[in-house]
Amino acid sequence: MIRAAESSRAAVNERFRFKRIPATRLSIRPVSAVIVSADRIIRRSRMPEIIPLGWFHTAMGIIALVSGGFTLAKFKEILLQTRSGQIYLVTTLITAGTALAIYQHGSFTPAHGLAVMTLGALAVGTVAATTHLFGKWSRYVRAISYSATLLFHCIPAITDGLLRLPVGDPVLTSIEDPILKMCYLGLLVLFLIGVSLQLRWIHRQPA
């Protein structure tokens, strides 16, 4: 009887015993899911590779920034009559034009909007510099318009610089990062201060 009871108990235990799941099966799936999700997020936020036209666009932008900064430092305003001013305006035109031809994100982006604004500012500034359409305000309109193009250069320069550099481990990984918005605000403040000083200097110049 004792043996029969033990056999019956063993049968019951065998029937209701829970199967033990290996720890590896419990841990590998969640971990792999997290890795895949993280990889997808990184791929979505990663900046696209620079195409040959993009390299040319970048080179023209760098030349424009250098020549524009030099022109403002030396002449206090960007002028068509100076060699550095001419270099700045031509390279700015090329930079904005090539920006409109780059569609790596597949649609119209804020970068294209900046390019359109740059072309508009160039047009207004050049009209003010070569005609009397704005009368006595022509020099002020030209200064504001040409200086605005420099601001429009700095915005994508800061954005690309922080999202691409250092190569392989950029400072920022998302264009939505609050640091970028603070940089944009800082650039706007610097622009407003710089233009105010520039207009004040122009006002003090003899007619």
Please spell the DSSP secondary structure of 74-113, one letter per residue.
HHSS--TTSHHHHHHHHHHHHHHHHHHT--TTSS--HHHH
In this predicted structure, which of 30-39, 99-108, 136-145 has the lowest mean pLDDT?
30-39
Tokens of 44: 């979505």
Question: How far is it, in rounded angstroms, from Cα 41 to Cα 62?
Answer: 31
Q: What is the mean pLDDT of residues 27-41?
A: 43
Task: Output the pLDDT for position 8.
Answer: 54
Q: How confident is the model at residue 65 (pLDDT cuts 50, 70, 90)?
A: very high
Q: What is the mean pLDDT of residues 30-58?
A: 60
- Please report, in angstroms and rounded to a whole number, the separation of the first and last CA atoms in the chain: 123
Q: What is the mean pLDDT of residues 87-100?
A: 96
- b/e sequence 157-170, b meaning 16+ C-beta within 10 Å: bbbbebbbeeeeee
Question: How far is it, in rounded angstroms, from Cα 45 to Cα 160?
Answer: 13
Question: How far is it, in rounded angstroms, from Cα 95 to Cα 177?
Answer: 25
Tell me the per-residue pLDDT of 159-191, one tens digit each, with 9 for 90 and over: 999 999 888 889 998 889 999 999 999 999 999
Which positions ≥6 away from 162 have C-beta within 8 Å? 170, 171, 172, 177, 179, 180, 183
Q: What is the mean pLDDT of residues 60-86?
A: 96
When the pLDDT of each residue in the chain is averaged and rounded to a whole number, the result is 83
Does residue 7 surpass a pLDDT of 80?
Answer: no
Task: Output the pLDDT for position 12.
Answer: 47
Omega cis (within 30) before 166? yes
Task: Output the pLDDT for position 11.
Answer: 53
Tell me the per-residue pLDDT of 105-158, one tens digit each, with 9 for 90 and over: 667 888 899 999 999 999 999 999 999 999 999 999 999 999 999 999 999 999
Residue 119's CB: how many other CB atoms inside 10 A?
A: 18
